[in-house]
Amino acid sequence: MKLIGLIGGVSWVSTVDYYSYINKGINEQLGGLNFANCIIHSLNYADIVKNNESENWDATLMMVTKAALGLQQSGAEAIVLCANTMHIIADGLVKNIQIPVIHIASATATEINKQGISKVGLLGTRFTMERDFFKDKLKEQGITAILPDDDERAFIHDTIGNELGRGIFKPETKAYYIDVMKKLVDRGAGGIILGCTEIPMLIKPEDMDIPLFDTTLIHSKAAVEFMLG
């Protein structure tokens, strides 16, 4: 089994899911008392949010590079960034370290293609929805992403940081997200990407009658495949 390094804390509540999914995935494959061989570096969420809101991606890259180099020096053979938005700096990180970064958007695109879907709705932080780093990985695999409108993107971004990232899950917030997803379906989405690692804690597969792509779970499965590959 390969050793992987997880960079989490963004937020800690979804990093818990990564740890759980990866350990369960290893055990499902190997059985017995086999569980994940991994190291976690958990960042201070407040530092990342400060950098995000000021769009100081260089500061985030420096912070994440330092963490990744520490994991690499400890024997990690790949890095998992436990957040969608952090993948803004993934390409830069790859240049700064000597081990691969398992990309969340590439793994998600592969899962979407398995279901033969070419157009999906994308939910996430405003950075994930509005910048190209995630959508470009989808395009590479022939997938088009459609987005909520301006007000909806603002609401989703705000609630991710101020509610979901703090472990707060309100029924009225869930209802709003479901309404947004239904509008995306009306515009042609054949599935919805839950493109923030906190969203799957609010929205469940049974909430919609089309495929929902849980990026936390998909990314964790890709990590397991790498570890056992």
Which pair of tokens denotes residue 140?
């590479």
Q: Note the pLDDT of residue 26.
A: 98
Distance CA(99)–CA(7), nearest Å, equals: 14
CATH number for the domain formed by residue range(s) 4-103+218-228: 3.40.50.1860
Residues of the chain with pLDDT under 70: none
132 Cβ contact partners less than 8 Å away, ≥ 6 residues apart: none
**What pTM did the predictor assign?**
0.93
Q: Note the pLDDT of residue 165.
A: 86
Domain locations along the chain: 4-103+218-228, 104-215
Which residue type does 19 have?
Y
Choose the CATH number for 104-215 among 3.40.190.10, 3.40.50.1860, 1.10.645.10, 3.40.50.620.
Answer: 3.40.50.1860
The reply to whether 104-215 shares the fold of 4-103+218-228 is yes
Q: What is the 3-state secondary structure (H, E, C) of the chain?
A: CCCEEEEECCCHHHHHHHHHHHHHHHHHHHCCCCCCCEEEEECCHHHHHHHHHCCCHHHHHHHHHHHHHHHHHCCCCCEEECCCHHHHHHHHHHHHCCCCECCHHHHHHHHHHHCCCCEEEEECCHHHHHCHHHHHHHHHCCCEEECCCHHHHHHHHHHHHHCHHHCCCCHHHHHHHHHHHHHHHHCCCCCEEECCCCHHHCCCHHHCCCCEEEHHHHHHHHHHHHHHC
